[in-house]
Amino acid sequence: MKSLPINALAIGVSDIGVRLFSFIAVTYLARVLGPANIGVLAVGMAILTYATVISNMGLPILGVRSVATKTDPIQNLVRKICTAQFLFSIIIFIVGTGIILFWIEEWNIRTVTIIYLITLFPSALMLEWLFQGLNKMKTLAMGQILGMTVYLLFVIGKVSNTDDIYWVPIAWCFGFLIKTIYYWTSYKKLMNRGNANKQPLHFFDIIKQGAPFGIASLISQIVIQFPFIYLGFIDTTENTGLYSVAFRVVVLMLVVDRVFYTIFFPAVSRSFKYSLEHLQEKIGWTLKIVIAGSLYIAMLALIAGRDLLPVIFGSEFYDSGFIFQALLGYFVLTV
């Protein structure tokens, strides 16, 4: 129990840091590349998100649960999940690349998306789920911050004009690779690999268990990423870029959601062991604080958003202010 505040602080600082670095990267890229190229990157990232969710098949969530409940030796669990995810990644990469080459005519979107899809391979070997299940949030936080820092520095160092757009997905992939290497190094320090009791992989069993989690994640990401795909192929990449910038600001604002969660979730959880009446009381005043706080922040953003976004990203993104104001409803409901 003593580690709970430390873990909450670690993951909270990590979440804020990752979103802030991501926002800085988007701001820099918006000024250097312009709305159309930001739209190209948004389409590529959306397709990568779909591909990642499908290749993961809900196995990371299953891994967290299995580690937390100690239903399988950790070494065997790592071997099963990483092997399954890597094989799925190979299949998804081959199929996805074929579909992209056949379906997408615009050269920039095609190239950027295929480079983004290479991220499937380091992502398949990512051990974030392991450290989350082990409740080692400091290790988890360090890896997340390290990966995003590498990405940000890579982008700033390599991207200086519109011709450098292809360095952005390369930077994203490299950031994931560094993060994966960090987690595996931490895993080797944590485990004595010589004591692993190797068991059969049982691919179909583990896939069957993870499938419900994967389907739920896929439905969620279809809803969130659909505007990028739709605008990129039905409208223009410039409008996709305008939407992408507005959405990134909302994602940064959702740090508030993590702050509320970190502060109130332990209090609400502890109240459950006393009585249902105590739980209802805690939930009641928590909801009042969260609703009042989120509405206050949304009102300030509504007033300032239209003029603030062009100042941050450049005059080309003036129309993003209107999109941002519309997305504030998503912010309030999410919190």
Q: What secondary structure, in 3-state letters, does 65-95 show?
A: HHHHHCCCCHHHHHHHHHHHHHHHHHHHHHH
| pLDDT confidence bin for 195, thresholds 50/70/90 | very low
From 35-44, 120-129, 196-205, 313-322, the region with the lowest mean pLDDT = 196-205
For residue 47, which of 257, 221, 236 has the smallest C-alpha distance? 221
CA-to-CA distance for 216 and 57, rounded, in angstroms? 10
18-46 per-position pLDDT tens digit: 888 988 999 999 989 988 899 999 999 98
CA distance 286 to 29: 38
Q: Encoding tokens for residue 203? A: 């691919």
Q: Which of 243, 245, 307, 231 is nearest to 31 (CA)?
A: 245
56: confidence class by pLDDT, cuts 50, 70, 90: confident
Residue 124 half-sphere exposure, CB side, CA atoms within 13 Å?
23
